[in-house]
Structure 1
Amino acid sequence: MNRALVVVTPNERSKRILREAGELAAGSGAELVVLTVIPNDEFEETRSALADVGSSDVVYGVDQATESARRRAKRLARETLDGLDVEYRVVADIGPEVDSVLETAQWEACDHLFISGRRRSPTGKLISRDTTQSIMLKFDGPVTVLLAEADETDSESKEKKSALA
């Protein structure tokens, strides 16, 4: 492994997968590229909400969104990789997650991916592919996946629902 891409989101699993990737990279002398992706719908929701505020001073465009995401991911990486001798840089993108991950991995010449996923029933796997599965099938190299435990996924869903309420 020379350069690995670690996909992070604002959750505990991201901290765990980032730490695992950091330890592996530190041991092998590899570099990490930490990627955070803002899905198009999330970007549009935020832009719409800010436009509804009605202030002409409020501008929320692609540059503001990616810079904000980059700052959050940089803070996460700094805290999580503290104490490890590993080089990393943080990038942010807006768009479909699968495409963003694969394009960034190719652009950055990454030879390994680290992502978090969720456990799914066999029926759920047959009905539709999730982001993690699509990335695993399309990336030409090793992919390390940290799967969420069932209770972890439930608590994250509850947190999202309570935040929306």
Structure 2
Amino acid sequence: MNRALVVVTPNERSNRILREAGELAAGSGAELVVLTVIPNDEFEETRSALANVGSSDVVYGVDQATESARRKAKRFARDALDGIDVDYRVVADIGPEVESVLETAQWEACDHLFISGRRRSPTGKLISRDATQSIMLKFDGPVTVLLGEEDETESESKQKTKPLA
């Protein structure tokens, strides 16, 4: 492993996968690229909400969104990788998660991916393919996945989340 991409969101599973990736990278002398992806709909919701505030001074574009996400992910990575001697960079992107992850991995010449996913029942797997599964199938290299529980709801996930701010 020379350079690994670690996909993070502000939750405990991302903290664990980032720490694990950091330890493996430190042991092999590899560099980490830490990626956070803002989905298009989340970006548009925030932009719309700020536009509705009514102030002409409020500007929220792609540059502001990615810089804000990058700063938050940088703090998250600094905390998760505390005490591990590993080189890392933090990047942010806006768009569909699968495409953003694969494009960033290619652009950054990453040879390993670390992502978190969720356990799903066989029926759940048949009904729809999730982002983690799509990334695993499309990435040309090893992918390490940390699985959470299928029935973990968004609110439970948020309760376990370590705040980024």
TM-score range, shorter chain: over 0.9
The offset of 1:108, in angstroms, is 0.3
Gap regions ≥5 residues in structure 1: 161-165
Q: In 1, Cα distance between the equivalents of 2:20 and 2:156?
A: 26
CA distance in 2, matches of 1:157, 1:136: 26
Say if 2:116 and 2:145, in contact at 8 Å, map to a contact too.
yes
Q: TM-score of the superposition, structure 2-length normalised?
A: 0.93
Which whole-Å CA distance do the structure 1 matches of 2:119 and 2:69 have between them? 26
Q: Secondary structure at the match of 2:124?
A: helix
Alignment of 1:51-66 (within 5 A): 51-66=51-66
Q: For the residues of structure 1 that align with 2:115 and 2:145, how far apart are their CA atoms?
A: 5
- RCO higher in 1 or 2 (8 Å CA, sep ≥ 6)? 2
1:163 aligns with none
SS of the equivalent of 1:37 reads strand
Displacement, 1:150?
4.7
Quote the Cα distance in structure 2 between the aligned partners of 1:158 and 1:15: 16
Which residue does 1:83 correspond to in 2? 83
Mapped to 2, the partners of 1:9 and 1:142 lie a distance apart of 20
Percent of matched pairs sharing the same residue: 90
Aligned to 1:149: 149
Shift of 1:159: 5.9
| Alignment check: 8 A CA contact 2:120 2:150 kept | no
SS at match of 1:90: strand
The CA RMSD over aligned residues, in Å, is 1.4
Is 2:109 the counterpart of 1:140? no
- Is this contact kept in 1: 2:37–2:92, CA < 8 A? yes
User: CA–CA distance in 2 between the matches of 1:44 and 1:138?
Assistant: 27
> The residue matched to 2:35 in structure 1 has which SS?
strand
Where do 5+ consecutive residues of structure 2 fail to align? 159-165
1:7 aligns with 2:12: no
Q: Is the 8 A contact 2:121 2:150 kept in 1?
A: no
Normalising by structure 1, what TM-score?
Answer: 0.93
Provide the C-alpha distance between the structure 2 equivalents of 1:73 and 1:9, rounded to a whole number of angstroms. Answer: 8
